[in-house]
Amino acid sequence: MLEADKVFAGSIPENYDRYMVPLIFEPYAADLAQRVAAFSPRAVLEIAAGTGVVTRALAPRLAPDASYMVTDLNQPMLDYAASQQGPDSRIQWRRADAMALPFENAAFDAVCCQFGAMFFPDRASAFREARRVLRPGGHFLFSVWDRLEENDFADDVTNALAEMFPDDPPRFMARTPHGYHDTALIRRDLKDAGFSDVIIETRAEQSRASSPRLPAVAYCQGTLLRTEIEARGADKLEAATDRAASAIARRHGAGAVAGKIQAHVIVAAV
């Protein structure tokens, strides 16, 4: 992962929440929230919360006296998440590095993270930190995307941009969001971090949009792929978005479109 793959700033958080969240994140957020709530935790830590899609799904499921610490390394994303959440005295917002959590040992019953582990420069440290702040009997629940080829729109966009920039194709999607999909490696990393029981479920969903342009805008302008496109020319963003939309239309049709998305959902016990 490149250093630039961590900087969600400017208009990216808003576009990310407006386009990417309904396109690919909402079904997995609902699933993760249900899994966390099933353990009836009294103290929950969310890491790499992004724009708060899991927070919005999980908070209504927690007990009235529960505490919910929501964190992200990226302050603009965290600020946006807080702005979208209604008043809730149980929730605290805090900028935090998943690899060096500013919390005491055994402080939480559950730690959750949706599609954040792929961005951790040192996943071993992040997993050890999650293990450290969990109480005995606690659970670490997180999700990561499966390989790029199992996720239609992301694959379409990546291939379209490779055709547009053949000498220097933008590879953000393959490199980072879809770069940690090996379940044997995930299981080994968690075991090395001290988790005793690891369950991994591969879950497929459908990504739906009213037109091919919507997922093209979502990926090209609502993720850090935008940074890579603009680095190849400040005037290239709209042309790249159009190119991606055309690729999606060729594969899925010119009207409402649907494509497969697939992720791994992991539950690791202390």
Are 270 and 131 within 8 A, CB to CB? yes
Q: What is the pLDDT of residue 152?
A: 98
118 vs 1: CA distance, rounded Å:
9
Q: What is the pLDDT of residue 248?
A: 98
pLDDT digits (tens, 9 = 90+) for 10-55: 456 777 788 888 999 999 999 999 999 999 999 999 999 999 999 9
Give me the long-range contacts of 179-183 (CB less than 8 A, separation at least 24): 179/1, 179/118, 180/117, 180/118, 180/123, 180/144, 181/144, 181/145, 181/146, 181/147, 181/264, 183/264
Tell me the pTM. 0.92
pLDDT band, very low/low/confident/very high, at 96 (cuts 50, 70, 90): very high
pLDDT digits (tens, 9 = 90+) for 183-192: 999 999 999 9
Cβ-based neighbour number of residue 141 at 10 Å: 26
226 vs 215: CA distance, rounded Å:
13
Please check the confidence at residue 7 and state whether its pLDDT lies above 80: no
Task: List, in order, residues 6 or more apart from 182 with CB less than 8 Å away.
Answer: none
Please check the confidence at residue 120 and state whether its pLDDT lies above 80: yes
Please check the confidence at residue 106 and state whether its pLDDT lies above 80: yes
Q: Domains for the chain: give ranges and CATH numbers.
A: 3-269 (3.40.50.150)
Mean pLDDT computed over every residue of the chain = 94
Q: What is the pLDDT of residue 12?
A: 66
